[in-house]
Structure 1
Amino acid sequence: MTDDIPERPPGGGLVQALNVPRNAGIGLVVGVVLAAGAYLVRVLELFGPFAGTRQYPGLGAEGWFILLAFVLASATALLVTAVLTVVSAYRLSKEV
């Protein structure tokens, strides 16, 4: 038995080949823009006042809408990143 440890292949090759960092950046921008737009429309009432106001326990309306905007931004970023990565994988499979 030898004491030599076999070398591991580089781990970032697939990530770079599928353009994951670029896709994540695009997803983040799309998510933040969508969430900011939804937040501004709702809180600033850009399309006019909403019918019926409700009382929100705890944080108040703005606090809850900030949390919802964060969830919307992160979910949208994840979805866009996944879709763009699948498209990159499909294109890469066609090249081979």
Structure 2
Amino acid sequence: MSESEPESGAAAMVAALNVVRNAKYGFGLAALVTAGLVAFFVLAPLFVLPGTTRPTYLYGALAFVLVVSLGGLLTAVFTVVSAVRLARSSP
């Protein structure tokens, strides 16, 4: 949009609810949680039990699904919190 036109509709709502910031925080936190879970459940047993072999490429796909789903969920929760705070602050 050009700067001469005011934001309206969905763009104004996205800006008011800080959806972009919430998505950055949500997917960042999801990536950290996923990395921790992969380290704990996939990589740690490889060092504790050297004889075990697991198909780690499948864990990569599982990690991707976890990042995307948890990131979307956290983004939605953070956006709902933003909406509640915005509703309470409005007169």
Normalized against structure 1, the TM-score is what? 0.73
Which entry has the higher C-alpha Rg, 1 or 2?
A: 1
Q: How many residues align?
A: 82
| Percent of residue pairs bearing the same amino acid type | 39
Give the distance between the partners of 2:37 and 2:55, measured in 1 at CA: 14
- Normalized per residue, which structure has more helix? 2
**Unpaired segments of 5 or more residues in structure 2?**
1-6
Match of 2:82 among 78, 84, 88: 88
| Structure 1 portions without partners, runs of 5+ | 1-8, 55-59
- Whole-Å Cα distance in 1 between the matches of residues 31 and 44 of structure 2? 19
Residue 34 of structure 1 is matched in structure 2 by 33
Q: TM-score, normalised by structure 2?
A: 0.77
The answer for the alignment partner of 1:66 in structure 2 is: 60
- In the TM superposition, 1:6-85 aligns within 5 A as 10=8, 11-45=10-44, 48-49=48-49, 61-85=55-79
**What code does the residue aligned with 2:48 have?**
G
